[in-house]
Structure 1
Amino acid sequence: MSDARETKGPARTAGDHDHEHDSSGKARGRGEPMTDGTGLSGARERRICTGGIELCVAELGDASRPTVLLVHGFPDSKEVWSKVAPRLAERFHVVLYDVRGHGRSTAPVPLRGGFTLEKLTDDFLAVVDAVSPDRPVHLVGHDWGSVQSWEFVTVARTEGRIASFTSMSGPSLDHFGHWIKKRMTRPTPRRVGQLLGQGAKSWYVYALHTPKLPELAWRGPLGKRWPALLERMEGIPAGGYPTDTLGSDAANGAWLYRDNVRARLTHPRPDAYAHAPVQLITPTGDAFLSERLYDELGDWVPDLTRRTLPAKHWVPRTRPDQLTAWITAFVDRHERSDGPAAAAPKTAKSGTRPEYAERFGGQLVLVTGAASGIGRATAFAFAEAGARVIAVDRDAEGAARTAEMSRLIGAPAAWGETVDVADEQAMEKLAAKVAEEYGVVDVLVNNAGIGLTGSFFDTTSEEWQRVLDVNLWGVIHGCRFFGERMAERGQGGHIVNTASAAAFQPSRALPAYSTSKAAVLMLSECLRAELAERGIGVSAICPGIVNTGITSTARFAGVTDAAEEKRRQKKASRLYGMRNYPPEKVADAILRAVLRDQAVVPVTPEARGAHALSRLSPGVLRAFARWQPPA
Structure 2
Amino acid sequence: MMDVTTRDLGGHDFTVRSWGDPAHPMILMLHGFPEYGGAWDEIATRLSDRYYCVAPDQRGYGASYAPNDIGEYATSKLVGDMAHLIGDRGSVIVMGHDWGASVAYGLAMFRPELVAHLIIANGVHPVPFQRAMAAGAAQSEASQYINFLRSAGSEDMLLADDFGKLLKMFSAKMDMSWLAGERLEAYKAAWRQSGLRGMINWYRASPLIVADPGKPVDMPDLPLDRLRVTCPHLLIWADGDTALLPVSTEGLEEFAPSLTRAHVSDADHWLLHQQPDAVVEIVNNWLG
TM-score (normalizing by structure 1): 0.41
1:259 to 2:205 alignment: yes
Q: Tell me by how many angstroms 1:306 deviates.
A: 0.4
Point out the structure with max Rg over C-alpha. Answer: 1
Provide, for residues 154-196 of structure 1, a one-character-per-residue CA deviation record: whole Å limited to 9, x for no partner: 11xx122111111122212234235566x5xxxxxxxxxxx41
SS of equivalent to 1:160: helix
Q: Paired residue for 2:119?
A: 166
Q: Matched residues in 1 for 2:131 and 2:245: separation?
A: 15
Letter in 1 for 2:200: A
Give 1:12-161 correspondences, 5 Å limit.
Answer: 42-108=1-67, 110-129=68-87, 133-155=88-110, 158-161=111-114
Indicate the RMSD between aligned Cα atoms, in angstroms: 2.3
Percent identical: 24
CA contact (8 A) 1:148 1:172 kept: no
Picking from 165, 183, 202, the partner of 1:240 is 183
Contact 1:77 1:249 survives alignment (8 Å): no
Q: Which residue of 1 aligns with 2:158?
A: 218
Which residue of structure 1 lines up, in the alignment, with residue 230 of structure 2? 275
Aligned-partner SS, 2:72: coil
Partner of residue 319, structure 1: 275
Query: CA separation in 2, counterparts of 1:209 and 1:81?
Result: 26
CA contact (8 A) 2:125 2:249 kept: no
Alignment partner of 1:105: what SS? Answer: coil
Report Cα offsets for 1:54-73 as digits up to 9, x if no partner: 11111110111111111000
Q: Structure 2 vs 1, CA of residues 58 and 240 (structure 1 numbering), >3 Å: closer, same or farther?
A: same
- 1:137 CA drift (Å): 1.0
Q: Secondary structure at the match of 1:245?
A: helix
- Asked whether the 8 Å contact 2:5–2:15 carries over to 1, the reply is yes
Within 5 Å, give how 1:235-384 maps onto structure 2. 235-238=177-180, 239-241=182-184, 242-247=187-192, 248=194, 250-262=196-208, 266-271=220-225, 272-310=227-265, 311-332=267-288
Give, in angstroms, the shift of residue 135 of structure 1: 3.5
- Please report how far the alpha carbon of residue 84 of structure 1 lies from its aligned counterpart in structure 2 after TM superposition: 1.0
**Contact kept? 1:79, 1:243, Cα under 8 Å:** no
Greater RCO (Cα-Cα under 8 Å, separation 6 or more): 2
Deviations 1:287-327 (CA, angstroms, capped at 9, x unpaired): 10110111101111010000122211111111111111112
Q: Is the 8 A contact 2:130 2:209 kept in 1?
A: no
User: Which secondary structure state, in structure 2, belongs to the residue aligned with residue 70 of structure 1?
Assistant: strand
- Which residue identity lines up with residue 197 of structure 2 in the other structure? A
Give the secondary structure class of the aligned counterpart of 2:53.
Answer: strand
Give the partner amino acid of 2:77: K
Per-residue CA distance 1:544-575 (angstroms, 9 max, x = gap)? xxxxxxxxxxxxxxxxxxxxxxxxxxxxxxxx
- Of 186, 193, 197, the residue aligned with 2:138 is 197
Q: Which residue of 2 aligns with 1:613?
A: none
The CA distance in 1 between the partners of 2:131 and 2:167, in whole Å, is 35
Gaps of at least 5 residues in structure 2 are 211-218
Structure 1 residues 114 and 44: CA distance shift in structure 2, 3 A = same
Separation in structure 2 between the aligned mates of residue 150 and residue 178 of structure 1, nearest angstrom: 17
**Contact preservation (8 Å) 2:119, 2:235:** yes
Q: CA shift at 1:225, angstroms?
A: 5.6
Q: In structure 2, what is the Cα distance between the partners aligned to 1:231 and 1:74?
A: 14
For residues 209 and 76 of structure 2, what CA distance do their matches in structure 1 show?
A: 13
Q: Distance in 2 between matches of 1:223 and 1:173?
A: 29
Aligned length in residues:
272
